[in-house]
Chains A and B, each alone.
Chain A
Amino acid sequence: MANKTAVQATINGEDVEFLCEPHQSLLEVLRDVLRLTGTKEGCNNGNCGACNVILDGVLVNSCLVLGVEAQGKRITTIEGIAPPHGLHPLQQKFLEHAALQCGICTPGFIISAKALLDHNPHPSEHEVRHWLAGNLCRCTGYDKIVRAVLDAADVMAVEVSK
């Protein structure tokens, strides 16, 4: 039986400490150890994006990161996207545009879109599609998702310029 490692990380702005076994992925840690079930498992081998989180500013598939690799890192999950009250513009626009149907891929898309807009605040449609190609959705055909992200980008640009 493997020994557990103590890991310290900052998740959604809060310092946390957890125990995990060497083989456990960050996805498993988030969902089963920390009970942050907003991040989803769709394939467990880096092909669907449902497990996306932001790790030290970089978009990653948490199923491809080991729990022990989170040591000393800053992690953002879907639970950390909304402000204390209300919704993030991305979340709001997803709702307004009906950019979700079953919703299982939505956390991954919102994390992924946030990572895009964090470093490219004015993406074109093609840039949005290219960036989101790592997030699979089976319900929507992506049309309304792309519209929601472009609309959120406009709103966020206005807020920045205020």
Chain B
Amino acid sequence: METPVAEQAKATEVSVEERHYNIIGTRPIRHDGADKVTGKALYGADVRLNGMLYGKVLRSPHAHARILSIDVSRALALPGVKAVVTSADLATLDSVVSRVGEGAVNWRYLSNNILASDKVLYHGHAVAAVAATSLNAANEALNLIDVQYEPLPCVITAVQAMRPGAPILLQELRTNELGARGEIPTNIASHDQNMRGDLERGFAEAAVIVEREFTTGIVHQGYIEPHTATAVWGTDDQITIWTSTQGAHDARRQVAEVLQLPVSRIKVIPMEIGGGFGGKTVIYLEPVAALLSWKSGNRPVQVTMSRFEVFAGTGPTSSSVIKVKMGSASDGRITAAQVTMAYAAGAFPGSPVGGAMSVILNAYRMENVQIDGYDVVTNTPRVAAYRAPGGTNAAFASESVIDELACKLGIDPLEMRRINGAKEGDRRVDGPLIRRIGYLETVEKARASAHYQSPLPAPSTPGLKVGRGVASGWWGNWPGGTSSVSVIVNNDGTVNLIEGSTDIGGSRVAMAMQLAETLGLQAADIKPMVVDTDSVGYNDVTAGSRTTYSTGIAVHKAGLSIIQQMRERAAQLWDVESASVDYADGVISSKDNHIGFKELARKVGDGDGNVVASISISPNGDGVALATHIVDVEVDEETGKVQILRYTAVQDVGTAIHPAYVEGQIQGGAAQGIGWALNEEYVYDQQGRLLNGSLLDYRIPTALDLPMIEAVIVEVPNPTHPFGVRGVGEVPIVPPAGAVANAIANATGVRMTVLPMSPQHVLEALWTQGNERV
């Protein structure tokens, strides 16, 4: 007997040869587009309510300190100030870990991150908040809150935090080794391992071995819209929150947990969101705004972060140290790989080292491998997910080493990927057998591309060095979570699609297209809308590249229900058995009759009720996707400046629902990866204070830094989705750093082992001829 898992996989089996789509693969204008280009779309900070107060947060000036006392009396006395809150207004939560989104959350730590309790753990850690009748009064009030600190020594990097004798951040923390708890206080929150085969034998078989240690800095998601939340704690104790979030239901759940209230007392209204990339799956301001509302006499309170607060007070992603030792036979086959990686989680445990352990070698087949991953706390902001969390750092390391092996063996770098590339039926490095993937197809497409086939351009100025590099990337995507949708057929034959998946990049049009395809209608016949937590069933966050996949499955299933109901209505109309009624391409027919969807919709309703469907699903699935990127760079060896000349990103997307937005995801992810590769990092002083918390000094790519990015879509449909979809948003940020590093090596002969490869770091590497680091 087949298990539900296998049955579901079979039910959605898609044969490539049978595919022909009317709507999928076209490029309709997005439904929310007109509002977004005219400034009418309302984002979180655009909310305006009568009597609204402005909230601001006081943040720690110290990287690590005990809070001795907080005196808010002077702030409360300032005219215009209506409320002040500290962690004393929050319940003390148990140190309990729950599955939230793709990972896990410790509720006490989340609460402590929102408002510090007995210690501040990073420069920028929230300590208190005020609400006042003007922004100016709120800012002035912050200066009147007296906090007495006892500064403590701090640790900024994983290496510092792991040293014996390092200052301990959390006294109760013990190393967790897959359920076994360590004995001594530590900053090492966890150790996990993937291992198989015989490392010693594998290295003994190798003709060439490369061993390198890589260091990467802290980078931020860098969304242009700062975090914001507006809350009203009603006199009936119902709390309404308007926020820019990647998941309204998830935010509601987190707020409920932190405030120790039942979720039914909280309604979260998701506004349009100005970028997230994973960073807006965690709450920061929502409970603060709610408490300020309650304390100010139930007035609306809006709290919006400044740009500095976004950098200093919200989750960037982890800095890391990654050691890779890899051996290859003379024919290019990788015979062994050993990896040790330590990721800095920031103030509380939960770095994406688990994701890193999967990314680092999952694109390849190998028998003898050991990967050890460490999650380490540091006096930096607690990390949040950032687009393929853990992946970019990991691929920077492994793709550099594979490239170096290829160079030493005289094997073309794409050929090296082809020789070792994973395919269906192979066993993944982290254990499971691989289902259908399109990795080798991306390698082949990259090799055949105009970019790869063209010679390197000449330098723009004599003396500059030009080079080409390639890199691949793997991401598992999150082919699951829970998605709920409601579908209503209107009397004129248009269809309302009610979703809870917040739209961070154009997903509502992709959902509408999947429903249109299912029903045989046009995309413009579907009206997608994203609604609040009271109005639709539970939806997990729009993250993990799960939305087009999971919400798409829900949409498809709802469409099938609509089809069944339309067949039944036609059967009633024609007085035949519904089994004899067919539905194809929006036309309902039986032996002697046929009618179009819209015409039938007009006839539905008189005395029979509407045609509606409500679906909630939690699919088991597979969404693995891979990419191969090519980059040409020009290096100025006098200044260390690296310019991107040409960029091609080849990615297996399964099926591109809306190719323009798929291309956009690939280009956007590549651009973030390039910024990470060349410029972006947090800079701290000796006291652990963030020095570059502005968009001037935290340098993200501008239009002048990038060329056109050629996005090449490969489609190897995913059999576990009705339309073959794989998540597309995260994979493209994984290869760029490795590709750029390999291009710099090709141009200059120097292997970069530090991110970012900023002019300073490139010069250091050039001057030390091979970047030998102490």
B307 & A43 in contact (Cβ 8 Å cutoff)? yes
Whether a CB of chain B sits under 8 angstroms from the CB of A128 is yes
B695 & A47 in contact (Cβ 8 Å cutoff)? yes
User: A136 CA to B275 CA in the complex, in Å?
Assistant: 12
Whether a CB of chain A sits under 8 angstroms from the CB of B104 is no
CB contact under 8 A between A107 and B39, given known A102-B504, A133-B704, A137-B224: yes
**Residue interface mask A55-96, B partner, CB < 8 A = 1:** 000000000000000000000011101100001000100111
Tell me which residues across on chain A come within 8 A of B34, comparing CB atoms. 87, 91, 95
User: A31 CA to B30 CA in the complex, in Å?
Assistant: 26
A48 & B39 in contact (Cβ 8 Å cutoff)? no
Whether a CB of chain A sits under 8 angstroms from the CB of B708 is yes
A142 & B695 in contact (Cβ 8 Å cutoff)? no
Closest-by-CB residue of B relative to A81 is: B38
**Residue interface mask A118-143, B partner, CB < 8 A = 1:** 00000000001110111111111111
A110 & B37 in contact (Cβ 8 Å cutoff)? yes
A146 & B694 in contact (Cβ 8 Å cutoff)? no
Q: Which of A37, A101, A107 is the one whose CB lies under 8 Å from B661?
A: A101
A47 & B274 in contact (Cβ 8 Å cutoff)? no
Q: A9 to chain B: closest CB distance in Å?
A: 18
CB contact under 8 A between A138 and B672, given known A87-B37, A104-B225, A145-B703: yes
Q: A32 to chain B: closest CB distance in Å?
A: 8
Q: Which of A37, A39, A41 is the one whose CB lies under 8 Å from B42?
A: A37
Whether a CB of chain B sits under 8 angstroms from the CB of A160 is no
Tell me which residues across on chain B come within 8 A of A135, comparing CB atoms. 702-703
Interface residue stretch chosen among B359-367, B420-428, B662-670: B662-670
User: A79 CA to B136 CA in the complex, in Å?
Assistant: 27
CB contact under 8 A between A106 and B29, given known A1-B79, A48-B224, A141-B671: no
A45 & B39 in contact (Cβ 8 Å cutoff)? no
A42 & B307 in contact (Cβ 8 Å cutoff)? yes
User: A130 CA to B665 CA in the complex, in Å?
Assistant: 23
What's the tally of chain A residues with a CB closer than 8 Å to chain B? 60
CB contact under 8 A between A43 and B506, given known A104-B225, A141-B668, A141-B670: no
A95 & B33 in contact (Cβ 8 Å cutoff)? yes
B505 & A42 in contact (Cβ 8 Å cutoff)? no
Q: B97 to chain A: closest CB distance in Å?
A: 31
A138 & B668 in contact (Cβ 8 Å cutoff)? yes
Whether a CB of chain A sits under 8 angstroms from the CB of B342 is no
A103 & B41 in contact (Cβ 8 Å cutoff)? yes
Whether a CB of chain A sits under 8 angstroms from the CB of B273 is yes
Interface residue stretch chosen among B43-51, B196-204, B315-323, B328-336: B43-51
User: A10 CA to B703 CA in the complex, in Å?
Assistant: 32
Q: B592 to chain A: closest CB distance in Å?
A: 44
A37 & B664 in contact (Cβ 8 Å cutoff)? no
Tell me which residues across on chain B come within 8 A of A107, comparing CB atoms. 37, 39
B273 & A102 in contact (Cβ 8 Å cutoff)? yes
Q: A123 to chain B: closest CB distance in Å?
A: 12
User: A153 CA to B79 CA in the complex, in Å?
Assistant: 52
**Residue interface mask B396-425, A partner, CB < 8 A = 1:** 000000000000000000000000000000
User: A130 CA to B703 CA in the complex, in Å?
Assistant: 7
A104 & B38 in contact (Cβ 8 Å cutoff)? no
Tell me which residues across on chain B come within 8 A of A143, comparing CB atoms. 663, 667, 706, 708-709
Tell me which residues across on chain A come within 8 A of B27, comparing CB atoms. 98
Q: B185 to chain A: closest CB distance in Å?
A: 39
Tell me which residues across on chain B come within 8 A of A28, comparing CB atoms. 135
B704 & A77 in contact (Cβ 8 Å cutoff)? no
CB contact under 8 A between A23 and B136, given known A102-B273, A133-B702: yes
User: A138 CA to B220 CA in the complex, in Å?
Assistant: 11
Q: Which of A44, A81, A105, A147 is the one whose CB lies under 8 Å from B224?
A: A105
Which of B41, B306, B703, B706 counts the most A-chain CB atoms under 10 A from its CB?
Answer: B703
Q: Which of B703-725 contact A (CB under 8 A)?
A: 703-704, 706, 708-709
Whether a CB of chain A sits under 8 angstroms from the CB of B36 is yes
B700 & A35 in contact (Cβ 8 Å cutoff)? no
Q: Which of B660, B694, B696 is the one whose CB lies under 8 Å from A144?
A: B660
B664 & A79 in contact (Cβ 8 Å cutoff)? no
**Residue interface mask B273-304, A partner, CB < 8 A = 1:** 11111000000000000000000000000001
Closest-by-CB residue of B relative to A23 is: B136
Whether a CB of chain A sits under 8 angstroms from the CB of B773 is no
Whether a CB of chain B sits under 8 angstroms from the CB of A117 is no
What's the tally of chain B residues with a CB closer than 8 Å to chain A? 60
Which of B27, B39, B225, B696 counts the most A-chain CB atoms under 10 A from its CB?
Answer: B39
B704 & A38 in contact (Cβ 8 Å cutoff)? no
Whether a CB of chain A sits under 8 angstroms from the CB of B349 is no
User: A130 CA to B704 CA in the complex, in Å?
Assistant: 6
Closest-by-CB residue of B relative to A132 is: B703
Tell me which residues across on chain A come within 8 A of B504, comparing CB atoms. 101-102
Whether a CB of chain A sits under 8 angstroms from the CB of B473 is no
Q: B772 to chain A: closest CB distance in Å?
A: 35
B41 & A141 in contact (Cβ 8 Å cutoff)? no
**Residue interface mask A18-38, B partner, CB < 8 A = 1:** 000101000010011001111
Q: A39 to chain B: closest CB distance in Å?
A: 7
Closest-by-CB residue of B relative to A28 is: B135
User: A138 CA to B564 CA in the complex, in Å?
Assistant: 43
Tell me which residues across on chain B come within 8 A of A134, comparing CB atoms. 702
Closest-by-CB residue of B relative to A94 is: B37
B696 & A136 in contact (Cβ 8 Å cutoff)? no
Whether a CB of chain B sits under 8 angstroms from the CB of A7 is no
User: A87 CA to B46 CA in the complex, in Å?
Assistant: 22
CB contact under 8 A between A79 and B671, given known A47-B695, A48-B224, A129-B703: no
CB contact under 8 A between A104 and B224, given known A130-B704, A141-B671: yes
Q: B689 to chain A: closest CB distance in Å?
A: 18
A104 & B29 in contact (Cβ 8 Å cutoff)? no
Which of A40, A128, A138 counts the most B-chain CB atoms under 10 A from its CB?
Answer: A138
Which of B37, B136, B273, B276 counts the most A-chain CB atoms under 10 A from its CB?
Answer: B37
A42 & B225 in contact (Cβ 8 Å cutoff)? yes
Whether a CB of chain B sits under 8 angstroms from the CB of A100 is yes
Tell me which residues across on chain A come within 8 A of B99, comparing CB atoms. none
B38 & A101 in contact (Cβ 8 Å cutoff)? no
B694 & A101 in contact (Cβ 8 Å cutoff)? no
Tell me which residues across on chain A come within 8 A of B375, comparing CB atoms. none
User: A142 CA to B664 CA in the complex, in Å?
Assistant: 9
CB contact under 8 A between A138 and B222, given known A44-B307, A45-B694: yes
Tell me which residues across on chain B come within 8 A of A50, comparing CB atoms. 224
Q: B426 to chain A: closest CB distance in Å?
A: 32
CB contact under 8 A between A82 and B38, given known A42-B307, A45-B307, A103-B272: yes
Which of B29, B45, B48, B668 counts the most A-chain CB atoms under 10 A from its CB?
Answer: B668
Q: A126 to chain B: closest CB distance in Å?
A: 8
Q: Which of A31, A98, A103 is the one whose CB lies under 8 Å from B274?
A: A103
A138 & B136 in contact (Cβ 8 Å cutoff)? no
Whether a CB of chain A sits under 8 angstroms from the CB of B481 is no
User: A103 CA to B99 CA in the complex, in Å?
Assistant: 31
Q: Which of B38, B306, B671, B708 is the one whose CB lies under 8 Å from A87?
A: B38
Closest-by-CB residue of A relative to B222 is: A138
Q: Which of B39, B225, B664, B665 is the one whose CB lies under 8 Å from A39?
A: B39
Q: List 8 A-B contacts (CB under 8 A).
A: A32-B135, A41-B45, A41-B304, A79-B38, A91-B37, A91-B38, A95-B34, A141-B668
14 more A-B residue pairs beyond the given contacts A98-B660, A105-B224, with a C-beta to C-beta distance below 8 A: A37-B43, A45-B307, A47-B694, A78-B38, A87-B34, A101-B668, A102-B274, A102-B276, A129-B704, A136-B695, A137-B703, A140-B667, A142-B701, A144-B664
Task: Please report A residues at the B interface, Cβ cutoff 8 Å.
Answer: 1, 21, 23, 28, 31-32, 35-45, 47-48, 50, 77-79, 81-82, 87, 91, 94-98, 100-107, 110, 128-130, 132-147
Interchain residue pairs A-B with the least CB separation, the first 8: A38-B39, A104-B274, A141-B671, A98-B660, A103-B36, A78-B39, A141-B667, A47-B695
Task: Please report B residues at the A interface, Cβ cutoff 8 Å.
Answer: 27, 29-30, 32-34, 36-43, 45-46, 48, 79, 135-136, 221-226, 272-277, 304, 306-307, 504-506, 658, 660-661, 663-665, 667-668, 670-672, 694-696, 700-704, 706, 708-709
